[in-house]
Amino acid sequence: MKGKIIIPILVAVFGVTAICVMSGCYGKTLLDLTSLLIVPILPLLYMAGIYGFRGIGKAYQAAVKPHSEAAISEMRRARSFFRELGRTFWLFGIIGAFVGFIAILWNLENPEYLGKNLSVALITILYAALSNLILVQPFSSALGRDLAEYPEQ
């Protein structure tokens, strides 16, 4: 079970890393602390406010541990968590993009802010996609696959 989660995560990490290296944008180019705060940190804190940190841990555990019919409700709750977490990553990514674009328009006469604000606008969307690809999709897919073995009640 864990392999079916770890392998997609490794493919995503190595694939994106390879793309970045081949295109010449790696290292400090893709690291922006403002964007890291917007995505993934704020969405995870937001979800912790709804589910609690313990609830987040239970959702990830439900995706990796062996299942029995008694755990179906726990698996459904975890799948719901991952759906909401994925949406939350995208919403915060969109907010970060709008903040970056607004900052660009606000400072059009000052070109030194153009690169930084455009970076925030675009990197938050990239971080939202990567967060979904690594922190949501493998776990959500594993839960969906496991839940398909049990008939709907």
7-53 confidence digits (pLDDT tens): 999 999 999 989 988 988 867 778 888 899 999 999 999 999 999 99
Determine if the peptide bond prior to 138 is cis (ω within 30°).
no
Question: Is the pLDDT score of 93 beyond 90?
Answer: yes
More confident residue, 110 or 97: 97
* 153 within domain boundaries: no
* 121 within domain boundaries: yes
| Per-residue confidence (pLDDT) for residue 70, from 0 to 100 | 60
| Per-residue confidence (pLDDT) for residue 152, from 0 to 100 | 72
Q: What mean pLDDT value characterizes the chain?
A: 91
* 152 within domain boundaries: no
* 131 within domain boundaries: yes
Residue ranges making up the domain that contains 27? 2-147
| Nearest of 68, 64, 69 to residue 141 by alpha carbon | 64
| Per-residue confidence (pLDDT) for residue 68, from 0 to 100 | 74
> Is the whole model's pTM more than 0.85, yes or no?
yes
Q: Count of domains in the chain?
A: 1
* 29 within domain boundaries: yes
**Pick from 3-17, 114-128, 139-153: least confident:** 139-153
| Per-residue confidence (pLDDT) for residue 69, from 0 to 100 | 64
Q: Give ∠ CA 127-132-136 in degrees, rounded to 5.
A: 145
* 129 within domain boundaries: yes
* 12 within domain boundaries: yes
